[in-house]
Amino acid sequence: MSGIAGVLGRDSEEKVARMLTALKHRGHFRSEIFFGHLINGVEYSIGTVSLQQSILGLKRETIEGGLEVCDGCSQGQFAKVTVHNSRYLTLERDIVGIKPLFYGMDANTGIFAFASERKALWEIEVDRIRRVEPGQIIAIGNLKVVEKQRKTHHSSSDTAVIYDETYAVEELTKLLKAAINEHSSRNMGIAFSGGVDSTVLWALLENREDTMLYTTGMAGSHDIKSAVNSARLLNAHIRVVKLTLADIEQLIPHVMRAIESCNPMDVAIALPLHAISDSSRKDGIGLMMAGQGADELFGGYKRHFNAYELSQDALSEMLRKDILNMGKNNLERDNLIAASNTVELKLPYLDLNVVNFAMKIAIQLKIKDDINKYILRKIAARFLPHQIAYRHKKAMQYGSGVSGALNTLARNYFSRDRDRDKRGIIGNYLKAIAEENNIRVAE
């Protein structure tokens, strides 16, 4: 886990020190604060925090008249702050939006601040918080945003569409294998559901000797059965983290505080990810590889299939929007919950080379013959048993049984209120728990 925090304006060093305390989760951390002045006289401080034994950590370079601090730049999944010739400062995120970055101003004190997590900004009472959007570059001068730019993905509308199935399989296999092994490390974990996304990560990994598969769910859940069965077929090591209703109830406050949300879907997805990242931390594993992005790139959700039945154009547009919104809708949450356990989350499907190539693959190769993620399954079938390559999975919140557990807890919580409308009961339950525990969440 690593993070960035910074302030432009008076007392910047003291404020950044407070922000870094909010970014420190479990474990032993090292932190640094870099102090300076812009040529207009405005002072700035930029702070970093990273795990002592961090495999990847933060990259810092002193450049003429300024400074560059980057979380994850070496592998293209980054959040970055740069001071340019002591004149102005820029904030930037990668095009996919894997690493989160937020900013805001405090009109009362006249400061501009930014951080990897909202809670660091809340720590110094910055309330009007915005996210740096994926691919966005924001320039700040004189304590205000002076310019915004945004990079975009290459899409099938402006590049040649790939219809050749053999070529698509060969090239995508090469790109995925390169991304998986570039993002890998010894003593690593893989978030493993037993489905095609996570199993391809294992299949294309060159060094599996020190790799542990992690799965979680309620006892007897679909995900545990599927993952254990797949691990047996692969002769792979797997750690099963079984959850009880009491475990879920106890973890809810921690998860909501970590992800800065009480949205029912966010909490239901973050809970299993917390369970496996917490388990890997206890095993001394600080790097977790996961299959996020495969569904959005290759058409893995039921709504993608429904869109395809309407038209290929409808599916193409849905996938485009899903990829553009993935940073906000999914990746911020997933990074925050992993960070709360001092675990670095690596996502090979969202390597920029993989994303750009996948977006050029014809829709006809993403859903074909009523098979979703068709092209990915063709790759999987080259390395894996047929029953794994073509296994259909349930969404994490349902396959793990966590969504059902949340519903049970909510109904138990409101059991005496017979007149309560049961629609939205989980959301009302989570809001009540957040209020009871003084947990601040984003609007």
Q: Where are the domains of the chain?
A: 2-150, 165-436
Instruction: Please determine, for residue 11, whether its predicted confidence score (pLDDT) is greater than 80.
Output: yes
List Cβ neighbours of 230 (8 Å cut-off, separation of 6 or more).
192, 194, 195, 199, 388, 391
Dist CA 77 CA 75 (whole Å): 6
Across the chain, what does the average pLDDT equal? 89
Please name the amino acid found at residue 256.
Answer: M
Average pLDDT of span 201-224: 94
DSSP calls for 117-130: SHHHHHHTT--EEE
Q: The tokens of 273 are what? A: 């990810």
Rounded CA separation 443/438 (Å): 15
pLDDT number for residue 399: 86
Please return the burial class of 324, using the count of CB atoms within 10 Å of its CB with bins 0-12, 13-18 and 19+. buried
Say yes or no to pLDDT of 57 above 60: no
Q: What number of other Cβ atoms are within 10 A of residue 244's Cβ?
A: 11
Tell me the average pLDDT across 59-73: 69
Query: For 109-221, where are the alpha helices, taking DSSP H only?
Result: 118-123, 165-182, 196-203
Confidence at residue 75, expressed as pLDDT on a 0 to 100 scale: 63
d(CA 271, CA 409) in angstroms, rounded, equals 14
Q: Read off the amino acid at residue 322.
A: D
How is domain 2-150 classified at the CATH fold level? Glutamine Phosphoribosylpyrophosphate, subunit 1, domain 1 (3.60.20)
User: Looking up tokens 């993608």, which residue turns up?
Assistant: 304
> CA-CA-CA-CA torsion for 333, 338, 339, 345, nearest 10 degrees?
-100
DSSP 368-416: BTTBTTHHHHHHHHHHS-HHHHT-----HHHHTSHHHHHHHHHHHHTTT
Give pLDDT, residue 171. 98
Give the range among 8-22, 42-56, 91-105, 198-212 with minimum mean pLDDT: 42-56
Strands 102-106 and 128-131: antiparallel
> Could you read off the pLDDT of 233-281 as tens digits, one per residue?
999 999 999 999 999 999 999 999 999 999 999 999 999 999 999 999 9
- What confidence category does residue 107 fall into, taking pLDDT thresholds of 50, 70 and 90? confident
Rounded to whole angstroms, how far apart are CA atoms 162 and 164? 6
| Listed range (28-42, 192-206, 291-305, 377-391) with the worst mean pLDDT | 28-42
Question: How many angstroms from the chain centroid is the CA of residue 352?
Answer: 15
Q: Whose structure tokens read 């009491």? A: 246
**Rg (the chain; Cα; Å):** 22
- The Cα-based distances of 210 to 131, 170, 187, 336 in angstroms read 37, 28, 5, 25
The predicted model gives 1-18 an average pLDDT of: 90
Say yes or no to pLDDT of 120 above 50. yes
Q: Is the pLDDT of residue 61 over 70?
A: no
For 165-436, CATH number out of 3.40.50.620, 2.40.30.20, 3.40.50.720, 3.40.50.300 equals: 3.40.50.620
Consecutive H or E run containing 269:
helix 264-282
pLDDT cut 90: percent of the chain above it = 71
The phi, psi pair for 130, rounded to 5°, reads: -125, 155
- What are the tens digits of pLDDT across the range 420-443? 566 689 999 999 999 999 999 997
pLDDT per residue as tens digits for the range 349-385: 999 999 999 999 999 999 999 999 999 999 999 999 9
Range 17-46 average pLDDT: 84
The yes-or-no verdict on residue 29 having pLDDT over 80 is no
Q: Is the pLDDT of residue 229 over 90?
A: yes
Band (54; pLDDT cuts 50, 70, 90): very low
Nearest-5° angle of CA 179, CA 182, CA 183? 85
User: Model confidence over 275-299: pLDDT tens digits?
Assistant: 999 999 999 998 999 999 999 999 9
By percentage, how much of the chain surpasses pLDDT 70?
Answer: 91
